[in-house]
Amino acid sequence: MIRVENLYKIFRAEEVETTAVNAVSLHIRPGEFVAIMGPSGCGKSTLLNVLGLLDSPTSGQYFLDGTEVGHLKESKRVEFRKGKIGFVFQSFNLIEEMDVFENVELPLVYMNIKPPERKRRVEETLQKLNLTHRANHFPNQLSGGQQQRVAIARAIVTHPLLILADEPTGNLDSQNRQDVMKRLLALNQEGITIVMVTHSRNDASFAQRVINLFDGRIVTDIKNYL
């Protein structure tokens, strides 16, 4: 699924050079649920953004589902990730002017899927996340937990290969945190590969494997026996 070899991401701003991802090599098999942990500023989000084709590495190789994607041009990257990768962010990133149905439908619009098929897929996905009765609500009418469920629905409506989640529970109270984690686990048990950045040991306990980063490097990569 994911094969990364000797990956670097170096940011250069003014006189300052930051090696945010430093010689990372990583293999993730289809169906794995991997948590990435480490202190603030150690490169977790940068690594996730490169894995998600939101950004390109400075050097190194990245094979996604067998294709080298690390050095694609921006337009090719966007094309490649469309439908294949679902994102869930701490800040939910919903569009305030669109209702729940439209937010979840959006990735299918970008993929030029015809309206009847879009409707079928959105309804199926809303049902899976217990959001059917919220279809016509707007994000500001929803709790944080509900908004994150909408974001998860939007991430899976395309039937992606991979979900990338950056601190998905970071803005939630403990009850909603647990609910979001159980839903991610259920999706993983249906076969979706998940890579999740988290600060929380509780969240990481849902993953099968925990990778610790420090200063852009992988320092431990262990199976989770909890």
Residue 45 is encoded by which pair of tokens? 């989000």
Candidates 4, 7, 43, 188; binder of ligand ADP (CB under 6 A) is 43
Q: What angle do CA 131, 137, 138 make, to 5 degrees?
A: 120
- Give the full edge-to-edge strand order of the sheet including 209-214: 85-89, 162-166, 193-197, 33-37, 209-214, 217-223
Beta pairing, strands 85-89 & 162-166: parallel
CB 214 within 8 A of CB 39: yes
Decide if residue 45 touches Mg ion (CB under 5 A): yes
Decide if residue 20 touches ligand ADP (CB under 6 A): yes
Residue 203's H or E segment, with its range, is helix 201-204
Decide if residue 42 touches ligand ADP (CB under 6 A): yes
Question: What is the nearest approach in angstroms of ligand ADP to the Cβ of residue 127?
Answer: 33
Decide if residue 22 touches Mg ion (CB under 5 A): no
Decide if residue 148 touches Mg ion (CB under 5 A): no
Decide if residue 58 touches ligand ADP (CB under 6 A): no
Decide if residue 46 touches Mg ion (CB under 5 A): no
Choose the stretch contacting ligand ADP; rule: CB under 6 A; options: 43-51, 71-79, 141-149, 176-184: 43-51
For Mg ion, give the closer residue by CB, 87 or 101: 87
Question: What is the nearest approach in angstroms of ligand ADP to the Cβ of residue 9?
Answer: 8
Candidates 15, 17, 40, 75; binder of ligand ADP (CB under 6 A) is 40
Residue 214's H or E segment, with its range, is strand 209-214
Longest dimension (CA), the chain: 54
Residue 118 is encoded by which pair of tokens? 């879009």
**Any bridge partners for residue 19, and if so which?**
10
Q: Which of Mg ion, ligand ADP, none interacts with 13 (beta carbon under 5 to 8 A by kind)?
A: ligand ADP
Decide if residue 11 touches ligand ADP (CB under 6 A): yes
Residues of the shown chain interacting with ligand ADP in the complex, contacts defined by CB under 6 A: 11, 13, 18, 20, 38, 40-46
